[in-house]
Amino acid sequence: SAMGACASVCVRASGTRREHWDGKFVFNPKFDAGAVVFDGYYDTDGEGKRSLTRDAIRRWAMEVQGESEGDAEALAERALGSVAPGTTVSLKRAMKLAVVTASNFPMMHTEVDDEEMKDEMPQYFINSSHNTYLMGDQLFSRSGTQAIKRALVSGCRVIELDVYDGRNGPIVTHGGTAVRPMLFEDAIKCVNTYGHVASRYPVIVTLENHATRPQRLVMARIMKEVFGEKLWYPANGKDHVMSKWPSPFELKDKVIIRDKMHHKQDVQGALAKTIDTVKNALSFGTKSKRSIVNEGSSTSPGHSLMESSITESKFNRRKSETSNSLPDSAPQGEADSSDYDSDTDESDPDKSGVPDIVTIQNAKFKSFKEAQTVSSKFSCSWSENKVKKKLASEKEKTIIEFTSRHLLRTYPGGQRVLSNNYDPSPAWSVGASLVALNFQAEDRYIWANAAKFAMNGGCGYVKKPAYLRDPTISRPIQPRILRVHVYAGIGWDNFKDADYLTAPDSLIKISVYGCVADRHALVGPHKSKRTSIYQDQRTGPRAQPIWDESFDIEIREPELSALQFSAMDRDGSRDEFLAHYDVPVAGLRTGIRVVPMVAPNGSYVHDHKSCAGVLCRFTWIDDAYYVARSPTIDPGATVKPGADSDDDV
């Protein structure tokens, strides 16, 4: 794949996971970084030495970086310390302390606002995973607690477990595949241990429950015993009518369960028993009639056999219609029709104990009209393919009315057997709360997801924009212009092995994810802005690229959009991935910032000398010319298949 060789270079360069971005830095000698960054603020003495005063640093921080007066003073203090007012600092030292440092990344620091966490759950985007237990692909990998732990400690709040009957109790696996299973109890213990390490806000365990009633009894016991007081559910259990969702604040430090209230396997099991009973009865009746015939009765034995055949045929057809399941040879994960079966006999209630501890009832979506009229609020699941169909056939407002009231979960289509992800932008753009992604994938969509949920202190819950919480509010259609100036790179020695014989042909690609309208505004075959290609030496000062190029990016919905910076190596007719960095537009700091380069495994790209990064400037341009010339883009439009050909990562 395009990621293969270059991505492995990044992983080798980064070595062990590095949590801090620091070390020496060198810019290309042809790029006078200090003069560019502090232009208009530094002084040059008679010997040609350039320096900054304390007041100059403070003014630069407020006027260029947009920092508050207090933060600007703290920056000056860090650069000069408690020294006499006339003391100065060299440009190189100012660059090290104020610019090329982790404190100057584009992403602002955010903290959880508890007051903003008191609305009903459908008012939030919730960090969600798909088949969380899988260590790799959907067909031949294995189930493991490491995968669940990784998702939880990275801030994921929705854990999905596919549960089946096992010899020694319920197991978690991907049905109809060669995936090696794990014990359900081990999965639940892992959730209990790591569920609230990254965030105190509620963990949702969503069950795709294929277990039979006896093993669901075991499941209920395990969850009650392991979670203890952490497990929250309505006082009246399965009889509860969810007229109002609890808030994330109410459920702090809690675990809640999402599951169907009726399961197909119960209907199928009961139906099979009925068929056997009828077969036996008919068989007994046939024998009796045969004896009567032998005694001279006018009844035809052939007639009884025909009745038996017709009756059995009816039951088999009924069983087939009710089953509606995937063949054993296909992954039996999710299918839209499996959320809830209308043929389920509700007079035969599920007494396994699991429905009593379910908070989020997972039901089959029938129609938007019914969803708006029913008194009870519920959750349902749509595949990425169903999302596209609904967006194509329904009005955007209709879908938002639904997602503002009920919890919509979306998940990857069945074609993604390699555990790659789909673009979450269309689902987010219509307010789907639980956009489930494969967390084991190291791809651009999971990076965009991580950027989105870095907001609100990384707690895993991000409040939706007002127009997705209230359908009567119009969504913004006129863009603001974000100007991104890409200056130069540092630490590019880390990529010296990207090409076997020469230095990499380096470029920076800027993409937008999260909002369909903003993504569509990036014209061109790659849906991205791209610098020119830099190529010189493999190591040393001249290996550090210079671009010095500006790009204007239209942003209509900053609360949805995230910028993705990708460092690429141009290899012939294709781009090969080197590293990336993602930042939510809502959390973007303006001014001159250093964009750290991150490897697919999440660590900073570095060697023993330096970390890799790109010096950029971010400025909002309020210009009537841009507003007047901008086309009207349908925010609810979907990304057409093949429209985004930029599949290099």
Q: pLDDT tens, 296-315? A: 433 333 333 333 333 344 43
User: Which of 159-163, 355-359, 364-368, 628-632 bottoms out in mean pLDDT, i.e. has the lowest?
Assistant: 628-632
Distances (CA, A) of 458 to 165, 587, 598, 629: 36, 12, 18, 37
Residue appearing with tokens 């093949």: 642
**464 in the same domain as 485:** no
**523 in the same domain as 434:** no
**339 in a structural domain:** no
Cβ burial 401-414 (10 Å sphere, 16+ → b, else e): bbbbbbbbbbbbeb
Residue appearing with tokens 């669940």: 148
Query: What pLDDT shows up at residue 627?
Result: 43
**100 in the same domain as 36:** yes
**595 in the same domain as 452:** no
pLDDT tier for residue 21 given thresholds of 50, 70 and 90:
confident
Q: What is the mean pLDDT of the segment spanning 121-145?
A: 97
More confident residue, 71 or 264: 71
Supply 441's token pair.
């994938």
Q: What's the mean pLDDT when you consider all of the chain?
A: 83
Asked if pLDDT for residue 26 goes beyond 50, the answer is yes
**259 in the same domain as 176:** yes
Cα gap 371→388, rounded to integer Å: 19
Asked if pLDDT for residue 415 goes beyond 70, the answer is yes
Cα gap 365→380, rounded to integer Å: 6
> 519 and 557 in contact (C-beta within 8 Å)?
no
Q: pLDDT tens, 395-409? A: 999 999 999 999 999
Out of 45, 73, 104, pick the residue that ends a domain: 104
Domain count, the chain: 3
Query: What pLDDT shows up at residue 279?
Result: 55
Asked if pLDDT for residue 286 goes beyond 70, the answer is no
**171 in a structural domain:** yes
Helix axis angle, 145-153 to 184-194, nearest 10°: 20
CATH number at residue 397: 3.20.20.190
Q: What is the mean pLDDT of the segment spanning 212-235?
A: 96
Classify residue 480 as left (phi > 0), alpha (psi -120 to 50) or beta: beta
CA-based end-to-end distance of the chain: 8
Domain hosting 180: range is 121-263+354-468
Query: What pLDDT shows up at residue 493?
Result: 93
**What is the total residue count of the chain?**
649
Out of 104, 134, 161, pick the residue that ends a domain: 104
Asked if pLDDT for residue 1 goes beyond 50, the answer is no
**360 in the same domain as 246:** yes
Cα gap 546→523, rounded to integer Å: 24
**293 in a structural domain:** no
**301 in a structural domain:** no
**195 in a structural domain:** yes
**496 in the same domain as 445:** no
Query: What pLDDT shows up at residue 240?
Result: 77
**464 in the same domain as 490:** no
CATH number at residue 536: 2.60.40.150
**156 in the same domain as 232:** yes
Query: What pLDDT shows up at residue 499?
Result: 81
**303 in a structural domain:** no
Of the chain, the percentage scoring pLDDT greater than 90 comes to 65
Query: What pLDDT shows up at residue 273?
Result: 54
pLDDT tier for residue 3 given thresholds of 50, 70 and 90:
very low
Supply 357's token pair.
């501890």
pLDDT tier for residue 373 given thresholds of 50, 70 and 90:
confident
Out of 468, 491, 518, pick the residue that ends a domain: 468
**169 in a structural domain:** yes
Query: What pLDDT shows up at residue 83?
Result: 57
Asked if pLDDT for residue 502 goes beyond 50, the answer is yes
**169 in the same domain as 92:** no
Asked if pLDDT for residue 327 goes beyond 70, the answer is no
**35 in a structural domain:** yes
User: Which of 222-231, 274-283, 396-405, 434-443 bottoms out in mean pLDDT, i.e. has the lowest?
Assistant: 274-283
Q: What is the mean pLDDT of the segment spanning 519-529?
A: 79
DSSP 168: T
**385 in the same domain as 244:** yes
**248 in the same domain as 365:** yes
Q: What is the mean pLDDT of the segment spanning 587-605?
A: 94
